[in-house]
Chain A
Amino acid sequence: MTLAIPRFWREIQSRYNLIGTKCGSCGKVDFPPRAVCPVCGRKSIGKMQRFQLGGKGSVVTYTVIHDAPAQFEMQKPYVMAIIEMDEGVRLTSQLIDVKPEDVRIGMKVQASFRKLGQEGDAGVIHYGYKFRPAG
């Protein structure tokens, strides 16, 4: 599925700069930003502060995608992973600059700003984070 332009544009801050939130009540970091802390609930409303992730983390689990959506057809096979950031929060991202057979659980990775996809043949190009082995 492709996302409409405003829908993508709204999330640019987070997708370009890894902006999440930190709960002013318990200190938990969330990504993407949340208006309510999943731990503190109502107590956290109005206390969620903007927080930028450092971009470093490690692989918790991964897969190599062979059946891809149309938008990713040209990239297959490609590696997707769930990454635990050093701040404790997890996210889902593509892993690049690594052979699928060399990916390991626990591997250290870092964020990299890349093209994510494109709408149609001459459509709008979306950018955001991918991760590569930490150098």
Chain B
Amino acid sequence: MRDVAVIGVGETEFGELWDRSFRDLGIEAGLKAIQDAKLRSEDIDAVYIGNMSAGKFIDQEHVSALVADYSGLADMHLPTVRVEGGGACGAIALLQARLAIASGMHDIVVVGGAEKMTDVGEVQAAEILSSTADQEWESVFGATFAGLYAMMARRHMHEFGTTREQMAAVAVKNHKNGALNPEAQFQKEITIDAVLQAPWVAEPLGLFDCAPLSDGAAAVVLCEAQRARKFSDTPIRIAGSGQASDFLALHDRRDLTTLDATVIAGKRAFHEAKMMPKDVQVAEVHDNFTISEILAIEDLRFIEKGKGGPATAEGLTALNGKISVNTSGGLKARGQPVGATGVAQAVEIVRQLRGEAGKRQVVGARHGLTHTLGGTGATAVVHLFERGD
């Protein structure tokens, strides 16, 4: 396999962007990444797009060709691929693009992720999100997406004594980071009390335990590592990638307080990269709910199982803590345009490793990780990144 590096990144602002269409967002992110890599359009070999559900959100399928077309690439007749995999689709697109370059088939691939979620109402958007759970054996009985994560939270509280305050500490930390990110949907700090007093969504999760509905897009340019120096002074190498799946329905899983797909995807990525969790300084993990970040830092072996709540409350995962988690603000504060998630996480890690993260820069960041979930954890993807120098 050939080595692959990131040579360009770009993203839109995230939020409820009612004046911006799916096309506008996809194009903006893509062009920014191409510009960042100083590419000419004839350098590009293929376009990969992570998108969860444009068919349901905007009634438009075939968004791979659409994004290439509106980015001015129609005349190039490039191969375009749209990847679906629930919330993990952007991270899977990145993995597939990496493989396409590693195999020798392509040299330079643009990977985009985009979702336009606010053209439908909130109730409908929540229902679309829950279609990544088991429609026939969870949703039809009344289990919502938040409700399924709430059941993991309840069980984690039962087994390990995790508290609502500790979960709230995830939201408070991520809002604090988001306040330092000019692209974030929420750039305002919140308090533990505000999280605890927010209305219930699915007990024990309240409104501020949940990531928002968002519009947004992100893109990265991948290049075969030998050529990467031609385009970038600080190419960021993809050192390892792992993907894993699990039972679709939460109730069929081995354990309700461990996402085995995360554990296995993490092991695969660390194994390939010949790295250990302690080698990572900065991680973007899938905090679609506060409990999700607690599970992720445990399942990725940054924190001992069951201690994710206290570790967060004690600040171990804060900016420049033991490991800096979700410096972008995470899905919670940066926003959650689903298809963009995995790619936006990669954008943040690349910025951190280049030393371009501004006020939220992690000091001495050399190795970074992204972790992305599909559904309630039936898919997990982990990527490890390192500075090339």
B-binding residues in A (CB < 8 A)? 1, 3, 7-8, 11, 32, 38, 60-70, 72, 75, 77-78, 80-82, 90-94, 100, 105, 116-117, 126, 128, 130
Contact = CB atoms under 8 A, between A and B. Distances in A.
Contact of A92 (B137, B155, B203): B137
A67 B125 CA distance: 12
20 contacts: A11-B136, A61-B154, A63-B205, A64-B203, A66-B202, A67-B126, A67-B144, A67-B146, A67-B200, A67-B201, A69-B142, A70-B124, A72-B142, A75-B142, A80-B202, A92-B137, A92-B148, A105-B155, A126-B140, A128-B140
Interface of B: 123-124, 126-128, 130-131, 135-144, 146-148, 150-152, 154-155, 158, 199-205, 247, 249-252, 256
Contacts of A72: 142
Nearest to A81: B151
Given A64-B202, A80-B143, A90-B251, A69 B256 contact: no
A78 B203 CA distance: 10
B256 A60 contact: yes
Contacts of B154: 61-63, 105
A78 B42 CA distance: 57
Given A60-B256, A92-B143, A70 B123 contact: yes
A66 B146 CA distance: 10
A117 B128 CA distance: 18
Contacts of A91: 137, 251
A69 B124 CA distance: 8
A69 B128 CA distance: 10
Contacts of A93: 141
Given A32-B137, A69-B123, A78-B142, A92 B249 contact: yes
Given A80-B151, A82-B256, A69 B135 contact: no
A69 B127 contact: yes
A103 to B, nearest CB: 10
Nearest to B207: A67
Contacts of B147: 63, 65, 80
B202 A61 contact: no
Of A64, A105, A130, most B-chain CB atoms within 10 Å: A64
B195 to A, nearest CB: 16
Nearest to A75: B142
B181 to A, nearest CB: 27
Given A65-B144, A66-B200, A94-B142, A60 B127 contact: no
A6 to B, nearest CB: 13
Contact of B142 (A38, A68, A82): A68
B254 to A, nearest CB: 10
B378 to A, nearest CB: 13
B4 to A, nearest CB: 34
Nearest to B158: A105
A61 B151 contact: yes
A91 B253 CA distance: 11
A68 B250 CA distance: 19
B202 A67 contact: yes
Contact of B130 (A1, A82, A94, A126): A1
A65 B142 contact: yes
| 8 A-B pairs closest in CB distance | A63-B150, A90-B251, A61-B155, A64-B203, A66-B200, A61-B151, A82-B251, A63-B202
Nearest to B206: A66
Contacts of B142: 65, 68-69, 72, 75, 78, 80, 94, 116-117
B47 to A, nearest CB: 30
Nearest to B133: A92
A61 B126 CA distance: 22
Nearest to B138: A92
A68 B144 contact: yes
Nearest to B154: A61
A70 B122 CA distance: 11
A60 B140 contact: no
Contacts of B202: 63-67, 80
B201 A94 contact: no
A61 B256 contact: yes
Given A92-B141, A116-B141, 9 more contacts: A1-B139, A7-B136, A62-B151, A63-B150, A64-B202, A69-B126, A69-B144, A70-B124, A90-B252
B203 to A, nearest CB: 4
Contacts of A61: 151-152, 154-155, 158, 256
Contacts of B205: 63
A64 B140 contact: no
Contacts of A65: 142-144, 146-147, 202
Given A69-B126, A91-B251, A64 B141 contact: no
